[in-house]
Amino acid sequence: MAKTIVGVDIGSSTLRAVEVADADKARPTLLRYHELDVPDGAVSRGEVLEPNTVGTLLKQLWSAGGFKSKRVVLGMGNQRVLARDLSVPSAPRERIRESLPFIVQDMLPVPVQDALLDFYPISETIGEHGPMTNGLLIAAVKDAVLGNVRAAQLAGLTPVDVDLIPFALDRVLLSRTKSRGTVALVDVGANTTSVIVASNGIPQFVRIIPTGGAEVTSALAARLEVPFEDAEKLKRAYGLATTVSNAEEQRVVSTIYEVVSELLTSLRNTISYFSNTRPTDPVTHIVVTGRGSLLPGFTNVLAEFTRIPVNLGDPFGAVAISRNLSADDLRGRQTSIAVALGLAMRSVSA
């Protein structure tokens, strides 16, 4: 029987898991998928605040979804995770990892002993003192990661790795599908939006923006004085509409535009920064994912803001789908399943 592994996406409102077989192969097989709602306050911006509650939910998720493996890969991708350019003298990756605490102390917002560090190599160059490896420093606040790991362990699961969510998205939407050129991958979540720029599927740049779709819903709920659930329905119904028929609709759409314009400006500035620092390798295409990207009109307005073509990412181009799953049902979840699928496809031997 093929060895399987489960990617677990712990969101502020939803817990999702995907089980795949042959994760290290060119085309893994998607075997199982399930999701459950998360009660308010248990998770904030992807960080587990109530490990016992989330641990119980994970047990329920395993039972309801029929997951067979207890080996899991968790994801992190909020403001407690930092990704920065870093060049170091060339050495085996393990040796570079061991040296990071002595190299990056001044780059971190927390004491080095309170952070978990990793290095993602991108390219090799010759510097003034010899061969250099250019890459990305990944630093996460230790407590933020350990809370998620603790929840998984309380559920009887075995975390074999913790991966950066933008890397997981790159894996399933770009690198495993052999994407060519320089692409900006934008994941619009509830409370955070991540941007990863990749050249030929290889990550070059990561930024995490502390805003997402929930800010739009909260603004509508406050302005219109309606419950959050009703505000969410209004957001999904009108989105970035170009025409309205009355003053009430105008108020809804104006509020949505006001909040989304801030995110669009941040995205445009982020992509422009990358292109300005690498003028020979500008972004030529944008791929969007995450539930926030389904806001009506979002892809069109993002394309207008950035003057770059935009399309929705398809996470199923990199996997085979088990006959036991409904392909039609999965297609309706393509923007929400991508993170968990990308996590499950991580090579834990890397």
- Tens digits of residue pLDDT in 243-259: 888 988 999 999 999 99
DSSP H or E run through 63: helix 51-65
| H, E, C per residue of the chain | CCCEEEEEEECCCEEEEEEEECCCCCCCEEEEEEEEECCCCCEECCEECCHHHHHHHHHHHHHHHCCCCCEEEEEECCCCEEEEEEEEECCCHHHHHHHHHHHCHHHCCCCHHHEEEEEEEEEEEEECCEEEEEEEEEEEEHHHHHHHHHHHHHCCCEEEEEEEHHHHHHHHHHHCCCCCCEEEEEEECCCCEEEEEEECCEEEEEEEECCCHHHHHHHHHHHHCCCHHHHHHHHHHHCCCCCCCCHHHHHHHHHHHHHHHHHHHHHHHHHHHHHHHCCCCCCCEEEEECHHHHCCCHHHHHHHHHCCCEEECCHHHHCEECCCCCHHHHHCCHHHHHHHHHHHCCCCCC
Q: How far apart are CA 15 and CA 90, in angstroms?
A: 40
Closest by Cα among 78, 15, 45, 38 to 209: 78
Look over the chain and give the mean of its residue pLDDT values, rounded to a whole number.
92
Q: Is the pLDDT of residue 186 over 90?
A: yes
Q: Is the pLDDT of residue 44 over 80?
A: yes
Stated length of the chain: 350
Q: Which of 14-18, 176-180, 188-192, 208-212 has the lowest mean pLDDT?
A: 176-180
Please, which contacts does 328-333 make with residues 24 or more away whose CB atoms are closer than 8 Å?
A: 330/30, 330/33, 333/33
Band of residue 1 on the pLDDT scale cut at 50, 70, 90: very low
Band of residue 350 on the pLDDT scale cut at 50, 70, 90: very low
Could you tell me the domains of the chain?
Answer: 4-79+143-178+314-345 (3.30.420.40), 81-141 (3.30.1490.300), 213-310 (3.30.420.40)
Closest by Cα among 160, 199, 143 to 71: 160
pLDDT computed for residue 347 by the predictor = 61
